[in-house]
Amino acid sequence: GAVVSQHPSRVICKSGTSVKIECRSLDFQATTMFWYRQFPKQSLMLMATSNEGSKATYEQGVEKDKFLINHASLTLSTLTVTSAHPEDSSFYICSASETRQVHQPQHFGDGTRLSIL
């Protein structure tokens, strides 16, 4: 089945550090990938939609200069949390759908636990 790989799985770093998270579709092409944030005991909140070869679309309230998204190929999207602060600590999850497939499940990565000290 379709697999989405997310790396790293966990990051602990000091305040002010920039952190890059990678999301790869391993066995399918994904024109569009999605980035979510999840706080404890809450559901996923969409942050942005990442489009291959073009600028990402950010949800209201999400700072595009804070959360930089690059989708340089059909199998890779990256999210960079710039100058991270403790309030950025969260569980970040990416997902992807196979290109041009409508009634297909989004395949999720296993998430990245980000802890900012």
Partner 1 sequence: KNQVEQSPQSLIILEGKNCTLQCNYTVSPFSNLRWYKQDTGRGPVSLTIMTFSENTKSNGRYTATLDADTKQSSLHITASQLSDSASYICVVSANAGNMLTFGGGTRLMVKP
Contact residues: partner 1, CB under 8 A:
4, 6, 32, 34, 41-46, 49, 91, 93, 95, 97, 101-111, 113
Kindly state the smallest distance separating residue 83's Cβ from partner 1, in Å.
26
Does residue 8 have a cis bond before it (omega within 30 degrees)? yes
Residue among 73, 16, 10, 62 nearest 36 (CA): 62
Residue with tokens 């379709």: 2
Which structure tokens are listed for 61?
């309230």
Kindly state the smallest distance separating residue 79's Cβ from partner 1, in Å.
14
Q: Which amino acid appears at position 8 of this protein?
A: P
Identify which of residues 38 and 70 has a Cβ nearer to partner 1 in the complex.
38
Kindly state the smallest distance separating residue 98's Cβ from partner 1, in Å.
11
Identify which of residues 43 and 54 has a Cβ nearer to partner 1 in the complex.
43
76-81 and 90-96: which strand pairing?
unpaired
Kindly state the smallest distance separating residue 110's Cβ from partner 1, in Å.
5
Identify which of residues 44 and 68 has a Cβ nearer to partner 1 in the complex.
44
Identify which of residues 13 and 45 has a Cβ nearer to partner 1 in the complex.
45
φ, ψ for residue 17 (rounded to 5)? -80, 145
Q: Which amino acid appears at position 47 of this protein?
A: M
